[in-house]
Structure 1
Amino acid sequence: MSIDQRPIILTGDRPTGQLHLGHFVGSLRSRVGLQDSHHQHILLADAQALTDNADNFEKVRRNIIEVATDYLAVGIDPSKTTICVQSHLPALNELTMLYLNFVTVSRLERNPTIKSEIQMRGFERDIPAGFLCYPVAQAADITAFKASVVPVGEDQIPMIEQTNEVVRRINRQIGRDILPECKALLSSTGRLPGFDGKAKMSKSLGNTIVLNATDKEIKKAVNAMYTDPNHLRVEDPGQVEGNIVFAYLDAFDPNKEEVEELKAHYRRGGLGDGTVKKRLEAVLKELIEPIRDRRNELAKDPDYIIDVLKAGTEKCQIITQNTLNEVKAGLGMFKF
């Protein structure tokens, strides 16, 4: 299959901190595989990150290099996957402004993802306009690359639905289909909880295990993991459901059969939390060590990271500008 015939996939991250195991199991692992079967673009969404980090430009700027280094360390190949920086693609801003004319404020406020994130951040009615409108900016990102596949978590499905609403409105206005609708590609693994037992692994909550964690940091995080509070003695039956250690084993232990045997043993009693945690610690160390080593090597040559970003961004400037030109021509906008 030639490159032009492969499905186009757009994915990305907000550069607000180093990536962690939640990102690895949710997207990074699948991106490494998808780069051979798809025409894949990864967007470092620094402009979107500013929708709730406008008071800390330095944090966002610094983490562009950090996140790009994480990408390369896990095996994303810049000869197969294009990595680009959102704020250097001016066509995205122009598409966003055009699309905003086809979306109402009430529709944005009804978006379940936006509603939950507004509540989580405590914005109430003091909502930055950029944050409220970021589903439209995300629609601009996706359509600018004409992506047909977008890997997301279940909580982001409303964003895909809203993108497709914009696509239908634009195509209907133009009178022909120039923008493709996209499909959500869900991870086979659910959202990874934080090691402290909270529902979400989050940089802001400090409950993450980063991709270059030291053995000492891994051990500390695993030892702090929530298990079954009623499993007071080794011989007591334990509960697997809601047990963070088993959630991580499900996500990262390659020997699924042995994990199921451990679960059965834990449920009937006779298996201590310490034994299960030691297994998880070994699994995570084996996973992270090669990533950490590659990352440390890459960090010695930041100019290489910048060259990768520059080359990818220049390529994507052409792609996104071509889409913008096509949309503007289709809408019949004034042309000199």
Structure 2
Amino acid sequence: MFVDRVLSGMRPTGNLHLGHYHGVLKNWLALQQKYECLFFVADWHALTTHYDSPEIIEQHSWNMVVDWLAAGVDPAQATLFIQSKVPAHAELYLLLSMITPLGWLERVPTYKDQQEKLVAKDLSTYGFLGYPLLQSADILVYRANLVPVGEDQAPHLEFTREVSRRFNHIFGKEPDFENKVTQAIKRMGSKKGKLYGELRNRYQEQGDENALSEARLLLKGQQNLSMDDRERLSGYLEGRSKVILPEPQTLLTKASKMPGLDGQKMSKSYGNTIGLREDVDSIARKIRTMPTDPARVRRNDPGNPEKCPVWQFHQLYSSEDARKWVWQGCTTAGIGCLECKQPIIQSIREEQAPILERAKMYQEDPAQVKKIVAEGCEKANQLAEETMRDVRAALGIGYP
């Protein structure tokens, strides 16, 4: 059996903005309260598209970790580490590549989509083709069973499940498996062993998902079973042999509500961002020069908030009473566009204040940031090595 473990990462390709905060980091803050969480700097992934500018990656990596800590990610609750400091990611990536059909990689929806969007870069590389498999290795090397993704990333997780199933099918056939399962059930005791058998039958004969959940909980509470026995019985529940790499499940996250300065999704590629740690005067200038409803040419022209990018900011930042004030003032020309924008400027400043304060603390103590990451890398290496011992043994390369 495996613990509930969340894994998520970000590529260090530039400064984080408010879209990252509302779309990813706020979700991380909630997840670290509920699960064992591992958050990593995906520097190898950055090289798949930025291989021609590697000089940016190291500094962006450290800046990004400061951003995470400033946003409230707590190293006492979550493990923060850098992907390239855990070699097992690359080892598992290599080993999984031995069994992954080429067609699986070519059909990942974002493969051709990204090639079409990033036409200025030569992405006809093995690394770019294989990056979904590297993502799978990132997840599977920690046996992370919960992965927060948006709808656009769901195909990547399904790909990971396919890889996991294929690996377990090929390499999960343990010698004398049935006898080891029988002995493990006996160690549960007659009453709990009988209950396990009944739940397994209900799931396999009737497809009862509740029975599967109950059986997993039953195994989770069996302190007298070894880790190997729990894994065997977990696989036996689903009609499989030993589960070496468990299939991760999707933690579907809501799409970010953070609009860009032009009304599109906030994105560096659109040049419409507000930096997570951007200077307050710069933010004020950006908001004040935001485009508004083109119908409001003059101060006394009424407008339509639904045609104004600023209204999207009010939907995220303003109270219901404030939104009513904006709607009434805009549609009747009772307020001007600069008046409408001022509460947004104030709200962003208030949101930023604790972030900037924490960021300043970590910027003044870079040794502390490096210590947090070093400790996170050490823990990540330990967890990954536990998985790799089983993987190597299953592949027949677990040499003493």
Q: 1:56 to 1:173 in 2, by over 3 A?
A: same
Which segment is superposed worse, 273-282 or 39-48?
A: 273-282
Aligned to 1:38: 35
| Amino acid corresponding to residue 392 of structure 2 in structure 1 | K
CA shift in 2, pair 1:196/1:329, >3 Å: same
Equivalent residues in 2 for 1:1-336, closer than 5 Å: 7-122=4-119, 126-175=123-172, 176=241, 177-190=243-256, 192-202=258-268, 204-233=269-298, 234-240=300-306, 243-253=308-318, 255=319, 257-258=320-321, 260-262=323-325, 264-265=327-328, 268-270=331-333, 271-333=335-397, 335-336=399-400
Contact 1:52/1:128 (8 A) holds in 2: no
Runs of 4+ in 1 over 4 A off after TM superposition: 123-126
Q: Secondary structure at the match of 1:43?
A: strand
Shift in CA distance, 288/173, structure 1 to aligned 2, threshold 3 Å: same
Give % identity.
33
Do the aligned residues in 2 keep the contact of 1:36 with 1:80 (CA within 8 Å)?
yes
Q: Indicate the larger mover: 81-90 or 111-120.
A: 111-120
How far apart in 1 are the matches of 2:42 and 2:11?
5
* Distance (Å, rounded) in 2 between the aligned partners of 1:187 and 1:265: 33
Q: Report if the CA contact (8 A) 2:261-2:272 is conserved.
A: yes
1:178 offset after TM fit, Å? 2.3
Q: CA deviation at 1:131?
A: 1.4
Secondary structure of the corresponding residue to residue 81 of structure 2? strand
Aligned positions, number: 329
Q: What do the CA deviations read for 1:12-60 (whole angstroms, capped 9, x no partner)?
A: 1111222110110011112112111110000101111111111222200
Give the secondary structure class of the aligned counterpart of 2:80.
Answer: strand
Change (3 A) 1:199 1:335: same
Partners of 1:169 and 1:191 in 2: how far apart? 37
Q: TM-score, normalised by structure 2?
A: 0.76
Q: Give the CA deviation at 1:167.
A: 1.2
What secondary structure sits across from 2:16 in the alignment? coil
Structure 2 vs 1, CA of residues 71 and 335 (structure 1 numbering), >3 Å: closer, same or farther?
Answer: same
Please state how far the C-alpha of 1:305 moved relative to its aligned partner: 0.6
Q: From the superposition, tell whether residues 193 and 107 of structure 1 become closer, same or farther in structure 2 (CA, over 3 Å).
A: farther
Q: Give the 3 Å change call, closer, same or farther, for CA 132–258 of structure 1 in structure 2.
A: farther
Return the offset for 1:252.
3.6
Question: CA–CA distance in 2 between the matches of 1:299 and 1:125?
Answer: 36
Structure 1's 188 and 249: CA in aligned 2 closer, same or farther, altered over 3 A? farther
Structure 2 counterpart SS, 1:41: strand
Query: What is the rounded CA distance, in whole Å, between the counterparts of 1:192 and 1:100 in structure 2?
Result: 37
**Structure 1 runs not aligned, ≥5 long:** none
Normalization by structure 1: what TM-score? 0.89
Corresponding letter in the other structure for 1:152: V
1:230 partner letter = A
C-alpha RMSD of matched pairs (Å):
2.4
Unpaired segments of 5 or more residues in structure 2? Answer: 173-240
